[in-house]
Amino acid sequence: MKISKGDIFDRVFINEPGLNLHIEQEAGSQVKIVVINLENPTSPDLEISNQIFIEQLGEGCQTEVYALAFLHGEEKVTTETHVLHAVGGGRSNQLVKFVLDDNARGRFIGDLKIAQDAQQTEAHQTNRNLLLSDTAEMRTQPQLEIYADDVKATHGASTGQLDESALFYMQQRGIDPKKARQLLVNAFMKEVLNKISDETIKENLLNAIDSVIEEA
């Protein structure tokens, strides 16, 4: 798929196993993709793979990739991003989050390449993962290849558990521990959901995760 000069491509993909996107950006185009996996719509044994390939082929492009997976049971999701800055003056930002419960498996492959000619590129890649059980597993494989020298690039990856001190703080205010956990998990997920431009889709997803709290 080609995004023409100056065009904007802004899409949300919800529970789409086998998502495979190939995007070529022309000068000054803007791409914003949000990929959400909140449940496995088909077989729980199926390994879901989301692959996103984006190439900035014209100058001054903007690319945003946000992904969230909340997995239970035996669910497995792999999110792959391949972002190439072929020419200069472009910007890219990636935020990929996994929340893994039970025996869920998450995998992030983040491939960021800044070619020699892509001077004055600004690129950020962040991967944050929350493990809710001792048996959930996360694999993170960031891969950065930077051949230009005048660039600003950052990347960070972390995997952890819920903040015990925050849980106790909330309990000390009378909040049920189950509800407190849910509030913290939702807060973690909202950072991605809030990136969705379509207000209706965003509200529906936020309400969907908040209704879990009400039921707790």
Partner 1 sequence: MHICKKSSTFAAANYNWYMVNDKMANHLLVIKDLHASIGGKEILKGVNLVINEGEVHAIMGPNGAGKSTLSAVLTGNPAYEVTSGEVYLKGENLLEMAPEVRARAGVFLSFQYPVEIPGVSMTTFMRTAINEKRAYEGKEPLSAKEFLALMREKKKLLELPDKLNNRSVNEGFSGGEKKKNEIFQMAMLEPCLSILDETDSGLDIDALRIVAEGVNRLKTPQNASIVITHYQRLLDYIVPDFVHVLADGQIVKTGDKTLALELEEHGYENL
Residues forming the site for partner 1 (CB under 8 A): 163, 165-166, 168-177, 179, 183-184, 186-188, 190-191, 213
Smaller CB separation from partner 1, 14 or 209: 209
Give me 190's structure tokens.
Answer: 């909202």
Cα(204)–Cα(206) distance, rounded to whole angstroms?
A: 6
In whole angstroms, the minimum distance from the beta carbon of 191 to partner 1 comes to 6
Given the structure tokens 């205010």, which residue do they identify? 173
State the sign of the Cα–Cα–Cα–Cα dihedral 13, 213, 75, 162. Answer: positive
105-114 β-sheet, strand order: 2-3, 20-25, 47-56, 76-85, 105-114, 137-146
In whole angstroms, the minimum distance from the beta carbon of 176 to partner 1 comes to 6
In whole angstroms, the minimum distance from the beta carbon of 129 to partner 1 comes to 15
Smaller CB separation from partner 1, 30 or 186: 186
Give me 162's structure tokens.
Answer: 């819920």
Smaller CB separation from partner 1, 8 or 187: 187
Smaller CB separation from partner 1, 122 or 210: 210
What's the half-sphere exposure (Cβ side, CA atoms, 13 Å) at 144?
Answer: 14
In whole angstroms, the minimum distance from the beta carbon of 131 to partner 1 comes to 17
